[in-house]
Structure 1
């Protein structure tokens, strides 16, 4: 995110057992001798801003990590991708997600921990902000932003793990043993409360240096999505209509408008475009390397490297044909033939999937098979060699990822309207018309089918299958077990010295 590059001001307030307010080995890095610990920080507006950056920082793990990157993990678990990689043991957290052998012992624990670290940083800010001498308008905005962030982190946590603790203040070590889970309804109630309180105090628009922060539109879109997942369809339709505007295909009061060309969403040249509602920005400036990567010094889109084809190389014929000069990647997330077949007749295919087998057979390129290779590879976030700017090319791609974009909110509103009526039809038509497709009669089935094709690979599919009750059928070929795999197991390490219990079936 470009509120500033993720760690130009770096606060790593860790979470003891992923739950406490701060950990003994993660401290604020400052110039000069020694370190400043959390209790001595938050003295002025500059330090409050640094705390805000820290609260936003964990957003970057969405595509800025390996097996613990939610984008990779969720795609691996869906029916649209296999884990891939070099072999069945490559990035094992992705493999167990893909074949549904995931357990409390092998799920990447950082997925849970990173989200709760984000929550902890928000909680610290909400405690500290009232006492910081600073501009009142900025304090109000910062408070709104961290409430929206906390809502975002909890929304992903409750969708991934379902039965989770609700922690709203920094915890001491003595309070850790008292931590227990609450009913998911309590999590949703808090998320809705945080967003409703945040929205009025967020800006309508963002200036260039602020891109990547929460705006009113982004928080409203998130609230509409939360209502939809919480089966409050009437409320969802109201909030999403605010985001989408009076006329589908037109410009909303927040300034959102579908991009004219679907291809421009993925050309790396149109960051924070008119369709982008909430977007994570990645940097090629950090020079992260293996020696500092696990410490958290990464700021690039790591998932982009993992999803690249293995040993990709264009032949002279491919160069003349104008095939992209893709990087040599690590071969994760080969596309299932089911998704490829569904997209082949669709204009979005060429900006979503690369048919490597066909291009290799035609003599235009060569590549090495991944594990579970299908010949189809995901390219929405695919880097090319000219994207390499940093000393280490593997961990530093400045390729942003969308969390919410307008086509998504169009389809969510159409669903919230029950998949019927003129408004729902117009919303569905607008998404299809943008890529030159003719209208189809609106229905819930048509909306779900459109979501799969429009949003393929963007991290929504697994959630969609679970919330619509289709997961057991669509994911049976991967080993999905009904009444178990709708939630992932809580990592084993989180049961140490707490009252938590494991999810059903694990």
Structure 2
């Protein structure tokens, strides 16, 4: 493949063909006659199909605003929903206070997004298998990437919904509305199968012009994480071995300065293992078209509303930080890179308007900074901030956890935990599970990990009790009622919804 950039200029061409959408964004020459039947004829067209699968990872407006990082931050004890009032984004408020029901919540968008990704990955895999005009080198890598991406989408689906349909290829129209749900263990087994088959065909590193493509390290890290999330202590050393491949392989390293990890001008840095690309190159300006642009609208969401000052740009006031997280981090060196202190901003001359659930503390890691505000298109939906899904500190702490839970090398677990702490000048602590989980809370705060960590460790019911979390129910979202209705109740609703 000559060039592979995960930007909308290529992605929408593929996406438009795959979805049959009537809008063809950034197509200089209309391609209305190019349909699935006469596409995928060569490596260039198959490459466009692959980029279209990648493109789904960055969707944040499918079925409403469903940007994963801020949404999961609001669902956890790290932040509230916020916004102008409780009716601003009722689906976010429902997740924040666990008043979810089959019609209310973020489930429609999350379901649509991830099954769109599964569909596109399945379609591409089918076309790759049937193609006789491509090299084996191209086929192997493209299949590996497609299988990783299918595993990625199913990992989100099983964590968000539990029992879901497991679709691994094209299905007929009569099957479309009668496809049964599979048990979570079967979903996890398929995710592991896809990742194990993907790893050998992926490169250890990629050149700069291919930043954003999946590497072997990303697949290995995700596989280790998937095993840990199944909570089988008998497999923890298996997960630890996989994560050690990533952590000791020499490809990644902890950045010396914690704050450098999240700088928009430091994308794909040495600590980043899996990163979702966003840009303002699309210059999108249409509020009405779902999944239209490549910018990260989550950045706009979390900024202080009507901000006027030197550093930040005006935001919408979502996800104000809880005072619990402020208290937990107040003496931590990572505080200034994790949390914006609004009272301090005001003391320095800035102003902003308090909105719903305001605490005067805001997310810092992805805060909208004036220096990166787009000058093209509609600025609010063209923020060029990437999302780091997996980074080295995450995999260090996951390996340490797996070693402790599996009865492995306690000395190595301690060195991994100490490395994360030492990077910000903190001293050594014992490698207990409590210390490891607390370090995950502080190190990874507001990056979208906390809610699922609470669920998988069995702590969600206690920690989120004052938000209304109900054990045996809120570990997963409800299945969208529209999906149950359209399948004539083939799909069974999750318990207690």
TM over 0.5: same fold? yes
Distance 1:291 1:448 in 2: 40
Instruction: Quickly say closer, same or farther: Cα 1:146–1:219, change in 2 above 3 A.
Output: same
Partner residue in 2 for 1:402: 388
The equivalent of 2:183 in structure 1 is 183
Given the superposition, is the C-alpha separation of residues 62 and 442 from structure 1 closer, same or farther in structure 2, using an over 3 Å criterion? Answer: farther
Select which of 396, 401, 418 maps to 1:415: 401
TM-score calculated relative to the size of structure 1: 0.91
How far does the alpha carbon of each residue in 1:347-385 deviate from its partner, in whole angstroms, 9 at most, with x for none?
00000001102332x253211112111111011011212
| Distance change in 2, residues 1:145/1:27 (3 Å) | farther
- In structure 2, do the counterparts of structure 1 residues 26 and 483 end up closer, same or farther at CA, with 3 Å as the change threshold? farther
* Contact 2:14 2:51 (C-alpha < 8 Å) held by counterparts: no
1:269 CA displacement: 2.1
Q: Secondary structure at the match of 2:494?
A: coil
Aligned match of 1:122: 121
3-state SS of 2:479 partner:
coil
**CA offsets per residue over residues 37-68 of structure 1, 9 Å max, x none?**
21221111111000000111110025999632
Kept in 2, the 8 Å contact 1:279–1:404? The answer is yes
1:55 and 1:40 mapped to 2: Cα distance? 19
Within 5 Å, which residues of 2 pair with 1:302-321? 302-314=297-309
Structure 2 residue 282 is matched with structure 1 residue 286: yes
Residue number among 387, 404, 413 corresponding to 2:372 in the alignment: 387
Give the structure 2 partner of residue 478 of structure 1: 467
Q: For this pair of structures, how many residues does the alignment match? A: 482
List alignment gaps of at least 5 residues for structure 1. Answer: 15-20, 246-251, 315-323
Unaligned runs of 5+ in 2: none
Deviations 1:278-303 (A, max 9, x none): 00110111122234542x22100100
TM-score, normalised on structure 2? Answer: 0.93
Q: Between 261-270 and 45-54, report the one with greater CA deviation.
A: 261-270
Superimposed CA distance per residue, residues 203-233 of structure 1 (whole angstroms, 9 cap, x where no aligned partner)? 1110011111110001000000001111231
Q: Distance in 2 between matches of 1:387 and 1:505?
A: 44
Matched, 1:488 2:483: no
Q: State the SS of the aligned residue for 2:181.
A: coil
2: CA distance between counterparts of 1:340 and 1:217? 33
Q: What is the distance in 2 between the residues matched to 1:65 and 1:33?
A: 26
Corresponding position of 2:87: 89
Match of 1:248 in 2: none
- What is the DSSP-based 3-state SS (H/G/I as helix, E as strand, rest coil) of the residue aligned with 2:362? strand
1:206 corresponds to 2:206: yes
Aligned match of 1:277 = 273
Q: Secondary structure at the match of 1:339?
A: helix
Q: Secondary structure at the match of 1:370?
A: coil
Q: Name the structure 2 match of 1:342.
A: 328
- Tell me by how many angstroms 1:95 deviates: 0.9
State the Cα RMSD in Å: 2.1
Q: What are the Cα deviations for residues 317-345 of structure 1, in whole angstroms up to 9, with x where unaligned?
A: xxxxxxx5200000000000000110110
For the residue of structure 2 that corresponds to 1:403, the secondary structure is strand
Distance (whole Å) between structure 2 residues aligned to residue 274 and residue 359 of structure 1: 31
Name the counterpart of 1:504.
495
